[in-house]
DNA sequence: ATACATGCTGGAAGCGTTTCCATATCATGA
DNA sequence: TCATGATATGGAAACGCTTCCAGCATGTAT
């Protein structure tokens, strides 16, 4: 018994190929009896339609592409999880493009993979695309949504990183801190990834507004991992003399790294050092980390739902000059300021 | 300008469709001049072949499916990263099936998605399949490789979890510990996931061989996360009276949770409590964690390479009754015992 | 010069569906 | 009874490629 085709089903059900196709895909204009016959025959033969043939004929792929810069960091794996769940439930496949930090891989993904007319839609996470890249993507007439990255011309889901960074910093300032350090993302590694700079700008804005100096040696660059931030924070906290009283880390993972470093020096959090993060990492609970909670998984799920709607609404054959995208909406995803106990008034 | 088809390229190059196809896919029997003409025309038109049409015609999908139970935990995201990189470099797509712990999702993935003749191969991570499920998978004549899970009939890449768990336990015993606790995986959550039980068996075997009692209250169940193990370990270490002197955690993440819990009680690691993990998580370095290093990323990459080879070697049309798989090989992936400084002789 | 192998080429037959369109069936109202 | 519309059906034309096959040049050995 090889793989059964729709022809086999039709023969067995005593129907035409056309009717079987309609019956199985739930289309109208099929009598109840025929539908049942077709379904029974399909079941008995273990028939499942070939995606390729079906896609080729219908122009529908049942497949959305997801481009991420990494899969290890909390934020990205959470988004992937959200997207994945929603898609799977809707019967869609998820094609994952983990471009990493290798530019040539980024290039091939953008130029070869995405363009190959195989995807119904694309979700790009924290990816900054050039104008020509966006144009190219839009040219294949697929809806795109960007998460956490600026994608001019495409719909985006994002949080207001600058404002939230300011809020976090203001929380420390409000407690009386003036000697505040900031652990930010790596400057060079990934030019695609503008987020660290945005959060850093929010930090600086809040400091300046409060009239506190931003000391360059207290703005340190880590890689968004616990271990990376741990090393940075050790340097930061090494000299008992000129030590900050508070740290704002651009991610929870880095905040945790800072807490671990503080513990190494016998510093108590929050009595000796306040630490605030940003993200909502599950591990934050263990450390009592004050943070700004963003539901990354929910953001992924929302992106997937938005695309599924667009796809369902959209014309069957995207090649027929459909407008690039209904309207590029820019949604701000809700966040929550989560005060736990890693922040307090500065030591006397 | 819509999407250019091969016909357009052929017209522009003044060649036939057939020749263009051969030229662009690097086939033989094309003159250098024709090849150049075809490539130039394709470039100018921005032509990229439709995967669906190409797959339908050739029977090749350039796509492998990856089934994982989760994407958050270190092991899985590392494997995904390894697979992803290798596949991307080879020009293959990765379709990710994150089945999670929801059985209905597992069911639909196994029964609908994987069977749809869309994949050239399947990689299943830590997935225990029933015989009928394996049979069904093999029936679609696609090579399968399992990573870290028992997949009878398919090739597998694995580490010898029982032996390594024994080794880890013996390391503690060798230092003089007799009061050893074990943090294992959740018993109920995921029936697919036999690994915790295997490691637990290794632990018990070592204890028995040494003549040490396995105290049931010192075998605690966590969920493979830092935070989950942290909670368990707090309970474990709460009573100063009957406290273990060493902990073997079934994963590095759980070992780190135990270290954090120990610190909460003012216990020094390793002077007061020895902790050993298993995996090779990057974060282990921060904690000086003694562990057994397994290169999860490398395992993913190896699985992908094995499949690519099989695909390349295999018959063009798998439907033609090719044997399920050349020979189901069972490879043990090398590991490394990494002694850092979270283990020492027990306190006096 | 003839015979033959060799290298390129284009026509056309798939690949397995979906969907258009023309036809056939059936009930309904005049 | 006959026209009329609604509903079901199957034939056949896409969908956009790959690849088989036959044909036509060349080049080489007789």
Q: What is the pLDDT of residues B241-251, one digit of tens each?
A: 789 999 999 99
Asked whether the beta carbons of residue A227 and residue B89 sit closer than 8 angstroms, the reply is no
Shortest-distance nucleotide from B2 CA to C1': D16
Optimal mutation site among A59, A91, A281, A286, interface B, most CBs of chain B within 10 A: A286
Range B193-197 average pLDDT? 78
Q: Taking the CB of residue A235, how many other CB atoms lie within 10 A of it? A: 11
CATH 3.40.50.2300 matches A161-293: yes
Question: Domain B161-294 falls in which CATH fold?
Answer: Rossmann fold (3.40.50)
Q: With pLDDT > 70 as the criterion, what percentage of chain B qualifies?
A: 91
Closest CA to B226 of B252, B208, B190: B252
Shortest-distance nucleotide from A317 CA to C1': D15
pLDDT higher than threshold 50 for residue A164 = yes
Range A109-124 average pLDDT? 77
pLDDT reported for residue B180: 97
Would you kindly state where each structural domain of chain B is located, as residue ranges?
A: 6-49, 60-158+296-332, 161-294
Closest CA to B274 of B168, B202, B190: B168
Q: Is the CB of B315 under 7 A from strand C?
A: no
Please answer whether residues B314 and B143 qualify as being in contact, where contact means their C-beta atoms are separated by less than 8 angstroms.
yes
Question: Looking at beta carbons, which residues of chain A come within 8 Å of B142?
Answer: none
Task: Report in angstroms the alpha-carbon separations of A48 from A100, B20, B44.
Answer: 35, 33, 39
The conformational region for residue A279 under phi > 0 = left, psi -120 to 50 = alpha, else beta, is left
A234 pLDDT band, cuts 50/70/90, is: very high
pLDDT higher than threshold 60 for residue A318 = no
pLDDT higher than threshold 70 for residue B338 = yes
Question: Domain B60-158+296-332 falls in which CATH fold?
Answer: Rossmann fold (3.40.50)
Q: Which of A3, A61, A116 faces B48 most closely, judged by CB atoms?
A: A116
Please answer whether residues B203 and A260 qualify as being in contact, where contact means their C-beta atoms are separated by less than 8 angstroms.
no
Range B186-215 average pLDDT? 84
Asked whether the beta carbons of residue A50 and residue B2 sit closer than 8 angstroms, the reply is no
pLDDT reported for residue A325: 45
Shortest-distance nucleotide from B32 CA to C1': C8
- In angstroms, the separation between the Cα of residue A95 and the nearest Cα of chain B is 4
Nucleotides of D under 7 A from a protein CB: 7-12, 14-20
Please answer whether residues B26 and B11 qualify as being in contact, where contact means their C-beta atoms are separated by less than 8 angstroms.
no
Asked whether the beta carbons of residue B51 and residue A117 sit closer than 8 angstroms, the reply is yes
Please answer whether residues B34 and B90 qualify as being in contact, where contact means their C-beta atoms are separated by less than 8 angstroms.
no
From residues 280-339 of B, which are strand D contacts by CB within 7 A?
316
pLDDT reported for residue B193: 65
B140 pLDDT band, cuts 50/70/90, is: low
pLDDT reported for residue B117: 66
Optimal mutation site among A51, A266, A280, interface B, most CBs of chain B within 10 A: A51
The pair of structure tokens assigned to A300 is 């992924």
Shortest-distance nucleotide from B18 CA to C1': C10
A316 pLDDT band, cuts 50/70/90, is: very low
pLDDT higher than threshold 50 for residue A320 = no
pLDDT higher than threshold 90 for residue A295 = yes
Closest CA to A112 of B92, B195, B6, B22: B92
Kindly give, in sequence order, each residue whose CB lies less than 8 Å from that of residue B47, ignoring residues fewer than 6 positions away.
B4, B5, B6, B8, B9, B41
Name the DSSP letter for residue A333: P
- Return d(Cα B118, Cα B168) in angstroms, integer: 42
Range A14-40 average pLDDT? 92
Report which of residues B334 and A137 the model is more confident about. B334
| Mean pLDDT computed over every residue of chain A | 88
pLDDT higher than threshold 50 for residue B347 = yes
Query: Which range, A20-24, A194-198, B133-137, B138-142, has the best average confidence (pLDDT)?
Result: A20-24
What Å value separates CA B30 and C1' D29?
25
Q: With pLDDT > 90 as the criterion, what percentage of chain B qualifies?
A: 61
Asked whether the beta carbons of residue A2 and residue B53 sit closer than 8 angstroms, the reply is no
pLDDT digits (tens, 9 = 90+) for B297-334: 999 999 999 999 888 775 444 443 444 445 678 899 99
Question: Looking at beta carbons, which residues of chain B come within 8 Å of A304?
Answer: none
Kindly give, in sequence order, each residue whose CB lies less than 8 Å from that of residue B1, ignoring residues fewer than 6 positions away.
none
Least confident range from A66-80, A95-109, A218-232, B10-24: namely: A95-109
Q: Is the CB of A22 under 7 A from strand D?
A: yes
| Mean pLDDT computed over every residue of chain B | 88
Asked whether the beta carbons of residue A230 and residue B286 sit closer than 8 angstroms, the reply is yes
- In angstroms, the separation between the Cα of residue A159 and the nearest Cα of chain B is 22
User: 3-state secondary structure string, B145-203?
Assistant: EEECCCCCCCEEEECCHHHHHHHHHHHHHHCCCCCEEEEECCCCCCCCCCHHHHHHHHH
Q: Where are the beta strands (DSSP E) in chain A?
A: 63-68, 93-98, 121-125, 144-147, 155-158, 180-184, 219-221, 246-249, 274-276, 291-294, 330-332, 335-338
pLDDT reported for residue A323: 43
pLDDT higher than threshold 90 for residue B7 = yes
pTM here is 0.88
pLDDT reported for residue A187: 61
CATH 3.40.50.2300 matches A61-158+296-332: yes
Question: Looking at beta carbons, which residues of chain B come within 8 Å of A113?
Answer: 93
- Return d(Cα B140, Cα A2) in angstroms, integer: 8
pLDDT reported for residue A324: 43
Range A102-119 average pLDDT? 73
pLDDT reported for residue A191: 54
Report which of residues B186 and B203 the model is more confident about. B203
- In angstroms, the separation between the Cα of residue A340 and the nearest Cα of chain B is 16
pLDDT digits (tens, 9 = 90+) for A46-61: 888 888 899 999 988 8
- Return d(Cα A339, Cα B3) in angstroms, integer: 52
A117 pLDDT band, cuts 50/70/90, is: low
- Return d(Cα B294, Cα B334) in angstroms, integer: 7
pLDDT digits (tens, 9 = 90+) for B67-122: 998 898 999 999 999 999 999 888 888 989 898 777 777 777 777 677 666 788 88
Helices (H), A99-244: 103-108, 131-139, 161-174, 195-210, 226-238
End-to-end CA distance of chain B: 80
Kindly give, in sequence order, each residue whose CB lies less than 8 Å from that of residue A347, ignoring residues fewer than 6 positions away.
A245, A271, A272
């Amino acid at each position: 018994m090889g793989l059964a085709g729709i022809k086999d089903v039709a023969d067995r059900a005593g129907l035409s190929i056309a009717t079987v196709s309609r019956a199985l895909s739930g289309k109208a204009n099929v009598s109840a009896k025929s539908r049942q016959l077709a379904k029974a025959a399909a079941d008995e033969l273990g028939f499942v339609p070939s995606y390729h043939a079906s896609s080729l004929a219908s122009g529908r792929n049942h497949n959305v592409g997801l481009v991420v810069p990494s899969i290890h960091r909390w934020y990205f794996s959470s988004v992937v999880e959200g997207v994945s769940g929603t898609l799977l439930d809707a019967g869609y496949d998820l094609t994952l493009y983990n471009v990493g930090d290798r530019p040539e891989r980024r290039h091939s993904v953008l130029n070869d993979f995405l363009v190959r007319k195989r995807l119904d839609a694309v979700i790009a996470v924290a990816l900054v695309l050039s104008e020509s890249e966006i144009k190219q993507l839009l040219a294949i007439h697929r809806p795109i949504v960007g998460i956490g990255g600026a994608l001019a011309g495409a719909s985006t889901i994002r949080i207001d990183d600058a404002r939230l960074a300011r809020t976090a910093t203001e929380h420390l300032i409000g407690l009386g801190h003036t000697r505040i350090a900031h652990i930010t993302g790596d400057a060079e590694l990934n030019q695609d990834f503008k987020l660290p700079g945005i959060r850093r700008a929010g930090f600086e804005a809040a400091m300046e507004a409060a009239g506190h100096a931003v000391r360059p040696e207290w703005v340190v660059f880590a890689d968004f991992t616990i271990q990376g931030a741990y090393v940075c924070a050790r340097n930061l906290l090494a000299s008992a003399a000129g030590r900050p009283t508070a740290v704002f880390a651009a991610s929870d993972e880095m905040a945790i790294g800072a807490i671990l470093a503080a513990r190494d020096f016998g510093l108590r959090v929050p009595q000796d050092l306040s630490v605030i993060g940003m993200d909502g990492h599950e591990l934050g609970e263990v450390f009592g980390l004050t943070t700004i909670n963003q539901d990354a998984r929910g953001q992924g799920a929302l992106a997937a739902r938005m695309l599924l709607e667009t796809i369902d609404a959209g014309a069957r054959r995207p090649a027929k000059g459909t407008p690039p995208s209904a309207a590029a909406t820019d949604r701000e995803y809700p966040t929550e300021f989560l005060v736990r106990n890693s922040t307090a008034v500065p030591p006397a």
